DNA sequence: CAAGAATGCATGAAAATTCATGAAAGAAAA
DNA sequence: TTTTCTTTCATGAATTTTCATGCATTCTTG
């Protein structure tokens, strides 16, 4: 269903140091504590990858690839971005963005126009077609987000997002 | 310095709906609220990418590529993982992991041995060389993590990690 | 104004990644 | 036990991504 990362699940959540004299009836899961299990950067990557995987299936179902979705979603609120700005926003490096934009421009989703006041700049915007394609996904994204956040009490939702903003500097 | 994603920074943190009758003295940053600025999956991706970028320079400085670091870090605590398990842990899909393991095996960092009780399984472990290469990075990783987390009060650190674990399911 | 430096984006070749599929081993069914 | 199904990992071809660099434009400075 999802992209990947949802295969085995076996045992997880090994208890801390429980009772010492336990005869350990099962020898199957040797699960050690694991460096990564408590390492912030890993937890971030895992949370991002796993939480996004669900939504990415919706993106694919709408005929878009994930990088395209990201670009369209950024442009939906901020039109006329410079390529460099958009690259920063989308977390892509510039050559990658340029090449993805080429494809999307050919597909009629985005539009590049050169800034008359500085002809080095290429300002990127959505075409009507691009907007039409991204709009339904924006709704789905909000719905999916609400669903994911529904696991947390409202106060925690704000706190969580604040953490993430702080981590992104 | 870092991999990417540290270019312009201009303004960020647009205030919510502040005062309506603001004459908006500056017209420079047209920064709209921005869908992505409050979208959980984007905040996760951005936090992960930006926070990791710093550390990734250390990885590169130690002659490892990021995927290799991730694999070694997972194996550091959990030896003898099946390829599929390791793929799940590292958030890579299986073919990608297999190919990266090929390179790392040739480089003498990891070792694949086939499980005698089920010869389909390839159990992956660190070689002494692999362990020697990853160990200093594990220390650096802990240090870097501590530095990142130092921005937050101790109670929040636990809460943040708990959030992330919950998000990763 | 004419270098020279800097900035913004594009591009090409090499490398990595993806997707579908292959092959080997084990499990289940007949 | 022989088929058939399933699981696990590897692989190949096509696509993407990366890294360094090129080209055009603007900015700086003498």
Looking at chain A, the number of H-run helices and the number of E-run strands are 6, 3
Contact (CB, 8 A) for A62 and A136:
yes
pLDDT recorded at residue A32: 54
CA distance A32 to A75: 44
Strand C contact nucleotides, protein CB < 7 Å: 7-12, 16-21, 24-27
User: Among A152, A156, A168, whose Cβ lies nearest the Cβ of B47?
Assistant: A168
Q: Which of B75, B48, B93, B58 is nearest to B132 (CA)?
A: B75
CA distances from A35 to A12, B53, B67, B107, B116 (A): 14, 19, 16, 23, 28
Give the chain B residue nearest A140 (alpha carbons): B39
The beta-carbon neighbor of A73 closest among B4, B36, B166 is B36
Q: Is A32 in contact with B81 (CB distance < 8 Å)? A: no
**CATH dotted code for A36-167:** 1.10.10.10
For residue A82, what is the DSSP state?
E
Cα B23 from Cα A113, distance rounded (Å): 30
Q: Is residue A43 over pLDDT 80? A: yes
Contact indicator for A34, A11 with CB cutoff of 8 Å: no
For residue A54, give both structure tokens. Answer: 């669900």
Q: What share of chain B is helix, strand, coil (3-state, %, to 5)?
A: 55, 5, 35
Q: End-to-end CA distance of chain B, in Å?
A: 34
Average pLDDT, chain A: 84
Inter-residue contact B89 to B74 (CB < 8 Å): yes
**Tens-place pLDDT, residues A72-92:** 999 999 989 999 999 999 999
Q: What is the pLDDT of residue A18?
A: 31
Q: For the residues A103-129, what does the mean pLDDT come to?
A: 97
Interface membership of A169 toward B (CB under 8 Å):
yes
Q: Where are the beta strands (DSSP E) in A25-121?
A: 81-82, 110-114
CATH code for the structural domain at B35-167: 1.10.10.10
Reported as half-sphere exposure (CB side, CA atoms, 13 A), residue B151 has a value of: 13
Inter-chain touch B35–A163, beta carbons under 8 Å: no
Contact B47 A152 (CB under 8 A): no
Which A residues, 98 through 157, put their C-beta within 8 Å of a C-beta on chain B? 138, 141-142, 144-145, 148-149, 151-152, 156
Q: Which residues contact B78 (CB under 8 A, 6 or more apart)?
A: A30, A31, A32, A34, B89
**Residue B149 Cα, gap to closest chain A Cα (Å):** 8
Answer whether B41 sits within 8 Å of A55, measured CB to CB: yes
Cα dihedral A49, A53, A58, A63 in deg (nearest 10): 70
pLDDT of residue B32: 54
- B148's tokens: 């990142």
Each of the 169 residues of chain B gets a pLDDT tens digit; together they read: 333 333 333 333 233 333 333 333 333 344 457 888 999 999 999 999 999 999 999 999 999 999 999 999 999 999 899 999 999 999 999 999 999 999 999 999 999 999 999 999 999 999 999 999 999 999 999 999 999 999 999 999 999 999 999 999 8
- Which one-letter DSSP state was computed for residue B82? E
* For range A48-71, the mean pLDDT: 96
In the predicted model, what is the mean pLDDT of residues A33-57? 94
pLDDT digits over A149-165, tens only?
999 999 999 999 999 99
In this predicted model, what pLDDT tens digit does every residue of A2-22 receive, in sequence order? Answer: 333 333 333 332 333 333 333
Q: CA nearest B39: which of A131, A76, A79, A28? A: A76
């Amino acid at each position: 269903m999802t992209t990947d990362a949802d295969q085995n699940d076996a045992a997880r959540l090994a208890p801390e140091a429980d009772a010492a004299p336990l005869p350990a009836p099962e020898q199957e899961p040797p699960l050690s504590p694991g460096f990564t299990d408590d390492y912030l950067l890993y937890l971030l990557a895992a949370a991002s990858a796993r939480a996004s995987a669900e939504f990415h299936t919706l993106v694919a179902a709408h005929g878009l690839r994930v990088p395209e979705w990201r670009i369209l979603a950024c442009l939906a609120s901020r039109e006329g971005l410079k390529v460099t700005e958009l690259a920063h926003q989308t977390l892509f490096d510039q050559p990658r963005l340029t090449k993805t934009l080429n494809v999307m421009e050919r597909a009629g989703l985005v539009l590049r126009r050169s800034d008359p006041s500085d002809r080095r700049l290429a300002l990127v915007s959505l075409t009507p077609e691009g907007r039409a394609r991204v709009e339904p996904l924006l709704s789905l994204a909000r719905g999916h987000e609400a669903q994911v956040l529904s696991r947390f009490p409202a106060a925690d939702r704000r706190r969580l997002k604040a953490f993430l903003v702080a981590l992104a500097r």
